Structure 1
């Protein structure tokens, strides 16, 4: 992945407000030639201790992606006041932008 694309993804990631979420696709649309898969890849490659709100990125179906950090992601979102419905989806009002 080009460094400039990764920097664009991380810049958008840093802007997601507390208590809000966005999707891999929405981040991709805010970058040059980004795709949801490239966004996911950039998030997987974050170094330990980075401090970026990776947990605020969800799937287009407004659910959490299945990955090793899913339980941590859910916990952190709940701490920020993000609720999940009985199907595991986040309310559309929480989507940013």
Structure 2
């Protein structure tokens, strides 16, 4: 993907991620469906990082983040009252689907 298209896609992903309410979580796939790309691409964009965006509110389809990020994410989940289960988020209770 060329720079301009990637920048547009990154902006679209950032907008959807910013819309995820505190205490809720969207999956990479749900965001991908809204912006018209694949879940892995959304993951790559999130991995590039952007100061201030709530990256912990986006998980895989099982409610998990990479192990290296879990402790930091759980601090945020606790602060926001996000329902968790085991090593991840309880998607039945915390799942959020972006409007299409």
Shorter-chain TM band: 0.7 to 0.9
Tell me, yes or no, if structure 1 residue 41 matches structure 2 residue 52: no
What stretches of structure 2 of length at least 5 have no aligned partner? none
> How many residue pairs end up in the alignment?
93
CA-based RMSD: 1.7
Distance 1:87-1:67 versus aligned 2 partners, 3 A rule: closer
Structure 2 length-normalised TM: 0.81
Match of 1:8 in 2: 12
For 1:46 and 1:88, the matched residues in 2 are separated by 20
- 1:67 Cα offset (Å): 4.2
What stretches of structure 1 of length at least 5 have no aligned partner? none
Tell me, yes or no, if structure 1 residue 31 matches structure 2 residue 35: yes
